[in-house]
Amino acid sequence: MGSGTSIDNKHDKNLPEDVEAQKQNGTVKSGSQKVAPDLGRLLATYQLVPTFERSDRHHCFIDSLENIDNLPAPVPPPTTKQQIFDVSKYSHVDDRALKAPKGLHKQPLSALVEYLINGYNDDLSKIRVIYRWITAQPIDQLNIPKREPSQSHTLFQLWRIKHRKGNYAQLVSLLCRFAQLPCIIIHGKLKGSTYDVGEHLDDEQHYGEWNAVLVDGYWRFINAYWGTCAEGGSDETQWECVDKGDEVKGDSLNKQLFYACDENYFLTEPDQMISTHFPTEPAWQLKKDVVTEEQFQTQAFLKDRFYNLQMKLEFPKICIVKSAGEEIELQFQLPEDRAINLDFQYLLFRLKSASSGNLPRYDRYVFLQRKKPDILHIRVRSPVKDIFRFELVGKDVTITEPGYDYDWVAVYKFDFTGSTATDVDAFPECPVIGWGPGRAAVECGMAPMSHFGGEILPANDGKLEIKFSTVNGQDWNKMDIKGQLIRGGSTPEEVSDHIVHRVENGDIIFNLTTPKKGEYAFKMYANEEGDREPKNVCNYLITSNQKQDNTPFPRNFSECLGAKEAFRAIGLKALTHESGYIETGEEELEIAFQKKGDIDLSLNLSGSLIHAEMAKRLISEEVIGDKITYKVRFPGNGNYGLRLMGNRGQGNEVMYEYVVNYKQKKQKPKPKEEKPIPEPEPAKEPIISKDVPNDLRKKIKRAIEDQNDVELEIAIEDLKSLGLPTAQKDIETAEIELGVMKTKRELNEATEVRDMALIKEAISKAKRGSYDKRLPTEMALAKAMLERLRNITKLMHAVLSLDQKTIAEIKGYQNPPPAVHRVMMATLLILGHWEEETEEWRNVQIALGKMGKDAIKRKIQELKIDDIPVDVALGARDLIRDFTLDQVRMVSAGGATFYVWVKGLTEEICQRNKEIIKDIRPRTSRRRRSTMMSEKSFYSERTMSYD
């Protein structure tokens, strides 16, 4: 499996002496070709012997700097391995290597190389035959004497490797020297069998050497040791297996040493090589974008099978993933043209410790699905705070070569020690064939038409319609199709009467309702003629966040709805409803059939609200010629069963079955007309009697015209002090005007300061004094502002009511969906975090994890809308502009709550500043200096530190 480790690769000072011994041995003649007496160059990234000289252009040490201009510098090759090498075309070369006489072990290296490359004039054939000869030498199994053989023999080099005095990279270099193939020994750090994912790599334990050879003018990697044998598996002294995929056999991936030629390490691509090989000289990564040592230490640990299957990693990019929430997610992209033939399983190990105690069952804490046909998505939960090793394994099911089986794709370490999640539920039990429509569905002739991933998120009512079409003209009526719904959680149980199905236009359609909020497994079975038992052909994980419970469908409607075999055999015809599933809002449903022959038909009605006597009263029958019509009334909302029975003189038979979902239509409210705010009526001049002194009458009139309530109040007091019995009506008239003035001022002031309590009191006062009809404009503006403030308060309460589990869900994303990331960036922007801080998700996680006065919910509770700069509000609005509420809700219910809060808040700010909004540029970054004075104080008070 290509996860080998290097032998103790100490620099061998005797290597040049061995070369000289071979050189003095002379040239061995052959029929058509000689090994040239002029040996090739020796190159290494370390100073192999003190006489080696440094070539800065080649980033290595060379036996001599003379005539090295013809050697190219290390650069990324312009072509891929697949473009230049097809193993099937080199079978004759491989045969040459595999049939090499054992007697060559006691011959000089020159004789071995002459035999191997005889007749080959191209670089690729020469290096291939050398690689295959080395990978065919199981050194630990060869009969090599304990005493040192003659240094002139090939056996001496094998003896050196077995006794750890030399290594494969040095042997490759020697053989290439005799073949006059430029070859370099590269040294660095390896992630081999001694490597535990995520651990620090040191120079001793993880030291290794490998080669780059020059093929047609470009350097290509080979690692003959990893290509010869592999040593892998998890360290059973450190890790304990707590779960493994259904088809991963117990010992198939145990630690073992075996010999076989691994094609992964012949002309290995640079991107694949850097996943496990880190050269000390960065140039010998042969990559345009060089990987740093820190990146190499922390990058995801991708194995050979990952590259063999042509996969791409979407997330996470690091090998140790820490979770502060409930789940860890992984996602891989598969090659579209072969994704259907790729199968994946997993192994989960828990770190052994004295405090572990009894381990819970883990076989339902991993959810592996095809999110799309070419997207592999994995979710992992943990019921305990601990550290786990997760190994993803896979294979191509179309490959039937002996020994080909599941092999490592990627290895991660999951750290749940900091998780704040409690009462973590297990997933529903994983089916053997996995989740989502896969090969089993294709083999059954099914193609998904509605849901292509392994998980379904139904609408808020918990109702679903799942549809499949046929890929080979399959007649579903000749198959026994069934659906099964299983509730997840700690005690899985089957849920009865919540699934019905039917066949329409060659498609099979399931209608399903989940009883209540939670996770469910929907399993689909098909039983063809000759099958002893139904086959599981497709499965979905259904995660419902419904708000209300759902009642079951009528009992005993688990068979295929619609026309039965007897109905078709007789030649009856449905005139109104061919579909076996009906949704209606009409209280009375009319169903008609065309009769044939003397058959007696009758219709039965069933449901949770129906009893036998009631059913008879709810159905009426009308027969006109060969047409029979039934009218069915429904006593209330719910699911009902209709079963058409027929009697041909041999007893009743089921002819047709319907399930009816009746939901009474709501009367559509008439759309509210947008009434314009009425223009204020011109104030009527109050009539002041002639009994009031002229100067006082003028004073009252002027105060009313000027809307000066202070002057009017003084004038009223002056009038009262006169004690004129005839002026009482004049006093009442003036007091009414004074009340209108004061109420108008209070309404305007309350609306302007946007104080909900003051607005409520002003509106109430206006109604108590019957001033509202005199102040239509002020009342309309006050009511509109009150509604806006209520909406903002409602949005704030929605955020404040989010439980910690929901916050932890958002925080727990390692690579969040774009919609969630943008919503949280907008939220934190409003709270004082610039975009350059929140572009990195880790900083968002830190902000969400703050406690006390810096907790996000407390910040929102204490936030004052008028303190938010308008340009910042516009920036927050722009951050979420590309997403709808439904798009956010699909990936995160908590994210949807923050989305609604941001959207409502920014709309309110825009409304308050609509006169100037067109002149303000949106802002999300600290870099642009603002001229708004409020902004400086706003951010100086609210910017939270990430220290």
Query: Which among 380, 415, 450 is the end of a domain?
Result: 415
How many domains is the chain partitioned into structurally?
6
Q: Count CB-CB contacts under 10 A for residue 618.
A: 17
Mean pLDDT along residues 17-31:
39
Both 271 and 129 in a single domain?
Answer: yes
Assigned domain for 688 exists: no
Domain identity same for 128 and 180: yes
Between 688 and 52, where is the model more confident? 52
Exposure string of 437-447, with b = 16+ CB inside 10 Å and e = fewer, is bbebbbebbbe
Range of the domain at 896: 802-932
In this predicted model, which residue has the larger pLDDT, 140 or 554? 554
**Would you say 368 and 347 are in contact if contact means Cβ atoms under 8 Å apart?**
no
When mean pLDDT is compared over 132-146, 833-847, 908-922, the highest value belongs to 833-847
Phi-psi sector, 233: left (phi>0), alpha (psi -120 to 50), beta = left
Residue 242's nearest CA partner among 351, 355, 348, 346 is: 348
158 and 218 assigned to the same domain = yes
Give the angle 359-363-368 at the CA atoms, nearest 5°.
140
Choose between 250 and 807: higher pLDDT. 807
pLDDT by residue (tens digit) across 552-565? 999 999 899 999 98
Cis peptide before 16 (omega within 30 of 0): no
Pick from 50-54, 72-76, 661-665, 697-701: least confident: 697-701
Is pLDDT at 224 greater than 90 in this prediction? yes
Q: Is the pLDDT of residue 5 over 70?
A: no
Q: Which residues of 89-105 are buried (b: 16+ CB within 10 A; e: fewer)?
A: ebeebbebbeebeeebb
Helices and strands in the chain, H and E counts: 28, 38
Nearest Cα to Cα of residue 817 among 371, 307, 410, 519:
371
Q: Are 608 and 614 in contact (CB under 8 A)?
A: no
Look at residue 640 in the predicted model and tell me its pLDDT: 94
Same structural domain, 438 and 535: yes
Instruction: Label residue 925 by pLDDT band (50, 70, 90).
Output: confident
Query: Is 197 within a domain?
Result: yes
Instruction: Provide the edge-to-edge strand list for the sheet that holds 375-381.
Output: 312-315, 327-333, 375-381, 366-372
Report which listed range, 69-83, 353-367, 642-656, is most confident.
Answer: 69-83
**Contact (CB, 8 A) for 512 and 463:** yes
pLDDT at 686: 52
* 92-96, 483-487, 635-639, 786-790: least confident range: 786-790
Largest CA distance in the chain: 146
Assigned domain for 860 exists = yes
Look up residue 476 and give its DSSP letter: G
Q: For residue range 610-628, what is the model confidence (pLDDT) as tens digits?
A: 877 778 889 999 999 899 9
Inside any domain, residue 75: no
d(CA 781, CA 786): 9
H or E element: which one contains 615?
A: helix 612-618
Rounded to the nearest 5°, which phi and psi values hold at 42? -110, 125
Nearest to 882 by CA among 817, 810, 822: 822
Backbone dihedral angles phi then psi of residue 782, each to the nearest 5 degrees: -65, -45
Residue 239 within a domain: no
Using an 8 Å Cβ cutoff, are 301 and 321 in contact?
Answer: no
Task: Answer yes or no: is pLDDT of 936 > 90.
Answer: no
Higher pLDDT, 355 or 774: 774
CA atoms within 13 Å, Cβ hemisphere of 95: 5
pLDDT (mean) for 561-575 = 91
pLDDT band at 181 (very low <50, low <70, confident <90, very high): very high
Same domain, 60 and 187: yes
Q: Where is pLDDT greater, at 359 or 889?
A: 889
**Cα gap 600→579, rounded to integer Å:** 22
Amino acid (one-letter) located at 925: S
129 vs 93, 104, 922, CA distance in Å? 6, 15, 65
Residues 808 and 908 in one domain: yes
Q: Would 435 be classed as within a structural domain?
A: yes
Same domain, 922 and 829: yes
DSSP letters of 643-694? EEEEESSS-EEEEEEEEEEE-PPPPPPPPPP-PPPPPPPPPPPP---TTS-H
Same domain? For 767 and 876 the reply is no
Identify whether residues 533 and 626 lie together within a single domain.
no
Q: Where residue 826 sits, what CATH number does that domain have? A: 1.20.920.60
Q: Compute the distance between CA of residue 887 and CA of residue 907 in angstroms, rounded to an integer.
A: 19
Tell me what the mean pLDDT of segment 269-275 comes to: 96
pLDDT single digits (tens) 369-379: 988 889 999 99
Of 149-153, 360-364, 494-498, the one with minimum mean pLDDT is 360-364
Question: What pLDDT does 694 receive?
Answer: 67
> Is the pLDDT at 512 greater than 90, yes or no?
yes
DSSP string, 238-275: TEEEEEE-TT--TTTTSSEEEE---GGGEEE-HHHHTT
Note the pLDDT of residue 29: 36
Q: Is residue 762 part of a domain?
A: yes
Mean pLDDT for all residues in the chain: 82
Residue 90 sits at φ, ψ, to 5 deg, of -120, 25
Q: Pick the residue with more confidence: 271 or 19?
A: 271
Report the percent of the chain where pLDDT is more than 90. Answer: 38
For residue 759, what are its two tokens?
């607005």
Identify the domain boundary among 415, 445, 480.
Answer: 415
Same domain, 766 and 831: no
Instruction: Kindly state the average pLDDT of the residues 355-363.
Output: 57
Q: The domain spanning residue 347 has which CATH number?
A: 2.60.40.10
pTM: 0.63
pLDDT category at 449 given cuts 50, 70, 90 is: confident
Among residues 665, 695, 723, the one where a domain terminates is 665
CB atoms within 10 A of CB 294: 8
Structure tokens at 548: 């209300």
Burial class of residue 111 in the structure, from the number of CB atoms within 10 Å of its CB (0-12 exposed, 13-18 middle, 19+ buried): buried
- Please, which residues bridge with residue 624 across strands? 627
User: Cα(680)–Cα(670) distance, rounded to whole angstroms?
Assistant: 28
Do 111 and 208 sit in the same domain of this protein? yes
Residues in the chain: 947
Model confidence at 440: pLDDT above 70: yes
pLDDT at 251 exceeding the cut of 50: no
Can you spell out the DSSP letters for 265-314?
Answer: GEEE-HHHHTTTEEESSGGGG--SSPPPHHHHHHB-EE-HHHHHTT-EEE
The reply to whether 130 and 210 lie within a common domain is: yes
Q: Is the pLDDT of residue 500 over 90?
A: yes
* Predicted confidence (pLDDT) at residue 733 exceeds the cutoff of 90: no
Q: Is residue 613 part of a domain?
A: yes
Q: Is the pLDDT of residue 360 over 50?
A: yes
